[in-house]
Structure 1
């Protein structure tokens, strides 16, 4: 029920209605791998708090070929998760070049999308999103593929092209028991050899920041009339709730991984990334949840920015 469910039982924000249902089933049915069953290399992997997916050069090339402009525009046409708003409103301010649509094929073989953000990083190639945009929780073998980031995507146009994802880091706890829903990606340079943040700029990022203050949340929600084609925004005061943080927001599937920007300046389009859209409080959403980023989140980010 609204206001009583926790992120572990609430609806994950996948880009397609079928993905929402299947993800919810996975959260209920899939069990963590018992530590006692791990031996050798598996034990060493379990000791690492960060899990990393890597995509080969050939896979990245195929991803860029697969996600044509027509396919990007088509993916939202069969999705309708209800009307937009009243809390979420189309963003009409300065173009947020660092925020974009993250396209991929999910573990079930369906075209879908999330939202993601380019951030300041050592390699100038790091992108933050939700872990469930990368892999299904509590199910190590169910990973997404053909993943590309299209910054500033709007109404069928990707003005800065698409950047293939070469690696995706997430907390090990997401892989094993569906907790700590955040991920950091490293992307390739564009077709001209330019690094992502050299092309579109970046948002600052913070860890271990106290929860509170005004937050602007953005996402490509699959609600009508936008159906993922335009960036939406919610604004609210972040509050601690059930070990995470929440803001008033009614964006839905497709907004997953969208940035929570504190200290947001609408004129410059800059803020400080403090979390990402993770889950909703109900099928008729009134709240958006995001993880509180601490030491593990910082390790995930470091793995990506040094990749």
Structure 2
């Protein structure tokens, strides 16, 4: 990545720290002692770092994130008007995409966006690594995390799923690179696994960058303020080692899927990246990782969990 692109992304991530304290997030906040972290003592060569939340923590997370609290966190921040590139998603109900609610390392309620994907355990969810933990800060992690697929305007049509484990690249943990994570969620209150309830998007690794991509996310821009799914559509281009599309979604959209071959009549596509970072304080581009060998290891670790 060029020095210019790196500085822009760092600047955006620095801005997002402030947004996190206000109630939404592209990244995490200041370091605090970690809770429920495993795998930190593994050899540095291990490419994937995994956090695990205890059964007690998962029960507490579901109890914590009431409908009222989910709606309140969106009201706590206003990141300016929506668009013109981002527009409300219009199409068949998109059951696989939802809001990922959590308490960040600064103790603030916040959210990102995440996507149920096809997996061996029928329980895997893809998002951005910075929605799970702060880069280059191994002890700075999120807690109280639940995934609400199909969320819209205060409604959780498929309920909420507690996050059991979160796998991230060790490159993110140590060096803030490879901004992608794979989560494993518990079954719902009826004992049903996630993709048995909402289905799962296909996911592709080592796919050539290009073609039309739909990026989706619960941006904190108004009037939606996280309560409605937004969508950007554009041609993906490789840029400075990442891929980019025209998009002006901001905080809260982080981790949302980039879907190639997306059909609004079926709600199906192929996940080729996730919303990672923006090009400037007034965004015109969204950047996402090119999903390669490291991302595949992260996903495989999750789908076997």
Give me the TM-score of the superposition, normalised by structure 1.
0.90
Aligned to 2:5: 5
Gaps of at least 5 residues in structure 1 are 30-40
- Report if the CA contact (8 A) 2:28-2:134 is conserved: no
> Cα distance, 1:43 vs. partner?
7.0
Aligned pair partner of 2:134 in 125, 128, 136:
136
> Cα distance, 1:8 vs. partner?
4.0
Deviations 1:114-138 (A, max 9, x none): 0000000000000000000000110
Is 1:245 the counterpart of 2:246? The answer is no
Distance 1:163 1:169, change over 3 A: same
Counterparts of 1:22 and 1:222, CA distance in 2? 10
| Cα RMSD (Å) | 2.1
- Report if the CA contact (8 A) 1:97-1:151 is conserved: yes
- Report if the CA contact (8 A) 2:28-2:133 is conserved: no
Q: Describe the SS at the equivalent of 1:236.
A: strand
> How do 1:39-54 residues align onto structure 2 when only pairs under 5 Å count?
44-54=42-52
Aligned to 1:32: none
Counterparts of 1:269 and 1:183, CA distance in 2? 22
Counterparts of 1:10 and 1:205, CA distance in 2? 30
- Report if the CA contact (8 A) 1:14-1:114 is conserved: no
Q: Describe the SS at the equivalent of 2:74.
A: coil
Is 1:17 the counterpart of 2:15? The answer is no
Is 1:105 the counterpart of 2:106? The answer is no
Gaps of at least 5 residues in structure 2 are 32-38
Distance 1:224 1:212, change over 3 A: same
Distance 1:249 1:10, change over 3 A: farther
Give me the TM-score of the superposition, normalised by structure 2.
0.91
Distance 1:99 1:15, change over 3 A: farther
> How do 1:72-111 residues align onto structure 2 when only pairs under 5 Å count?
72-111=70-109
Aligned to 1:160: 158
Deviations 1:18-48 (A, max 9, x none): 448995987xx9xxxxxxxxxxx96743111
Instruction: Figure out how many residues of one structure are paired with residues of the other and give that number.
Output: 291
